[in-house]
Amino acid sequence: MDIYLPIAGQSVNALFIVALGFLVGLLSGMFGVGGGFLTTPLLIFYGIPPTVAVASAATQITGASVSGVMVHMRRGGVDLKMGGVMIAGGFLGSFVGAALFRVLQSTGQIDVAIGLLYVLILGWIGGLMLLDSLKSLGYLKVAAPDQPRPRHNRWVASLPLRWRFHGSGLYISPIAPFALGFLAGTLTVFLGIGGGFILVPAMIYILGMPARIVIGTSLVMILAVSAATTMVHAITTRAVDVVLAALLLVGGVIGAQYGALLALRVKPDMLRLALAIIILLVGLRMFLGLFWHPDEIFSVEYL
Amino acid sequence: MLAPVLIAAEKPVLVPDVSARQVQIRYSFTGAQLLLFGAVVYPGGRPPDRQVDIAVVLRGPVQPILVREKQKIAGIWMNADSNRFRSAPSFYAVASSRPISELLDERTAAIYELGVHNLQLSPGGGALPEKERRFEAGLLDLRERRNLYQENPAGVEINGGVLYRAVITIPSQVPVGTYTAETFLIDRHKVIAAATRDIQINKSGFERYVALAARRHRFLYGLTSVLLSLGLGWAAAAAFRRQF
Threshold 0.90, pTM exceeds: no
User: Which residue in A250, A257, A297 is closest to B240 by CB distance?
Assistant: A257
| pLDDT for residue B244 is more than 50 | no
Helices (runs of H) and strands (runs of E) counted in chain B: 6, 12
Task: Provide the terminal-to-terminal Cα distance of chain B, rounded to the nearest Å.
Answer: 82
A222 near A61, Cβ under 8 Å?
A: yes
Distance CA B120, CA B139 (A): 13
Query: What pLDDT band is residue B5 in, cutting at 50, 70 and 90?
Result: very low
pLDDT at A44: 79
A146 in a structural domain = no
Q: Can you tell me the mean pLDDT for A254-273?
A: 78
A2 in a structural domain = no
Residue B38: strand pairing partners: B16, B164
Q: What is the pLDDT of residues A146-166, one digit of tens each?
A: 555 555 666 666 666 777 776
**What values do phi and psi take at A264, rounded to 5?**
-70, -20
Distance CA A2, CA A298 (A): 28
Percent of chain A past pLDDT 70, that is, above it, reads: 89
A149 near A166, Cβ under 8 Å?
A: no
List CB contacts (< 8 A) between A299 and chain B.
67-68, 70, 79, 142
Query: What pLDDT band is residue A43 in, cutting at 50, 70 and 90?
Result: confident
A202 in a structural domain = yes
B112 near B184, Cβ under 8 Å?
A: yes
pLDDT at A149: 56
List CB contacts (< 8 A) between B225 and chain A.
59, 230, 234, 240, 242, 245
Q: What is the pLDDT of residues A48-57, one digit of tens each?
A: 887 888 888 8
pLDDT at B2: 46
Q: What is the pLDDT of residues B9-40, one digit of tens each?
A: 568 889 999 888 888 888 778 888 999 999 99
Question: Which residues are CB-neighbours of A133 under 8 A, at least 6 positions away?
Answer: A269, A270, A272, A273, A276
User: Which residue in A4, A9, A250 is closest to B28 by CB distance?
Assistant: A4
| pLDDT for residue A82 is more than 50 | yes
pLDDT at B178: 93
| pLDDT for residue A145 is more than 60 | no
Residues 241-280 of A with CB under 8 A from B: 242-243, 245-246, 249-250, 253-254, 256-257, 261
Distance CA A229, CA A280 (A): 26
Q: What is the pLDDT of residues A161-211, one digit of tens each?
A: 777 776 666 777 778 778 888 888 888 777 767 677 778 777 777 777 777
Q: Can you tell me the mean pLDDT for A271-293?
A: 83
The Cβ of residue B22 has, within 10 Å, a number of other Cβ atoms equal to 11
pLDDT at B175: 85
3-state SS, residue A185: helix
Residue closest to A32 by CA, chosen among A69, A3, A75, A7: A69
A69 in a structural domain = yes
Residue A164: strand pairing partners: A171
Choose from A284-298, B160-174, B198-212 the range with maximum mean pLDDT. B160-174
pLDDT at A69: 80
More confident residue, B242 or A21: A21
Residues 58-97 of A with CB under 8 A from B: 59-60, 62-67, 70-71
More confident residue, A217 or B190: B190
pLDDT at A142: 62
- How many Å separate Cα A243 from the centre of its chain? 22
pLDDT at B199: 92
A301 in a structural domain = no
Query: What pLDDT band is residue B183 in, cutting at 50, 70 and 90?
Result: very high
pLDDT at A146: 54
pLDDT at A153: 65
The Cβ of residue A288 has, within 10 Å, a number of other Cβ atoms equal to 10
**What values do phi and psi take at B57, rounded to 5?**
-125, 130
Q: What is the pLDDT of residues B102-113, one digit of tens each?
A: 989 989 999 999
Listing DSSP states for B42-107 in one string gives: -GGG---SSPPEEEEEEE--EEEEEEEEEEEETTEEEEEEEEEEEEEES-EEEEESS-HHHHS-HH
Query: What pLDDT band is residue B179 in, cutting at 50, 70 and 90?
Result: very high
A170 in a structural domain = yes
Q: Can you tell me the mean pLDDT for B212-239?
A: 87
The Cβ of residue A10 has, within 10 Å, a number of other Cβ atoms equal to 20
Query: Please, what CATH class does the domain formed by B8-60+90-203 belong to?
Result: mainly beta
pLDDT at B144: 92
**Residues A246, A250, A254: CA angle, nearest 5 degrees:** 150
Residue closest to A297 by CA, chosen among B89, B175, B83, B171: B83
Choose from A149-163, A226-240, A261-275 the range with maximum mean pLDDT. A226-240
Residue B181: strand pairing partners: B58, B197
Question: Which residues are CB-neighbours of B2 under 8 A, at least 6 positions away?
Answer: none
The Cβ of residue A220 has, within 10 Å, a number of other Cβ atoms equal to 24
Q: Do B210 and A242 touch (CB under 8 A)?
A: yes
B68 near B82, Cβ under 8 Å?
A: yes
Q: Do A4 and B65 touch (CB under 8 A)?
A: no
Q: Do B66 and A261 touch (CB under 8 A)?
A: no
| pLDDT for residue A219 is more than 90 | no
Mean pLDDT (chain A) is: 79
Q: Do A67 and B172 touch (CB under 8 A)?
A: no
Distance CA B93, CA B149 (A): 6
A–B CB contacts, 8 A cutoff, strictly below: 179
- Can you list the alpha helix ranges (DSSP code H) found in chain A? 14-31, 36-46, 50-75, 80-107, 110-137, 154-157, 175-191, 196-202, 211-235, 242-263, 268-291
A16 in a structural domain = yes
Query: What pLDDT band is residue B93 in, cutting at 50, 70 and 90?
Result: very high
More confident residue, A99 or A158: A99
Percent of chain A past pLDDT 90, that is, above it, reads: 2
The Cβ of residue A235 has, within 10 Å, a number of other Cβ atoms equal to 14
For the ranges A37-51, A222-236, B10-24, B81-95, the lowest mean pLDDT is seen at A37-51
Query: What pLDDT band is residue B1 in, cutting at 50, 70 and 90?
Result: very low
| pLDDT for residue A266 is more than 80 | no
Number of domains comprising chain A: 1
More confident residue, A217 or B58: B58
Q: Do B226 and A227 touch (CB under 8 A)?
A: yes
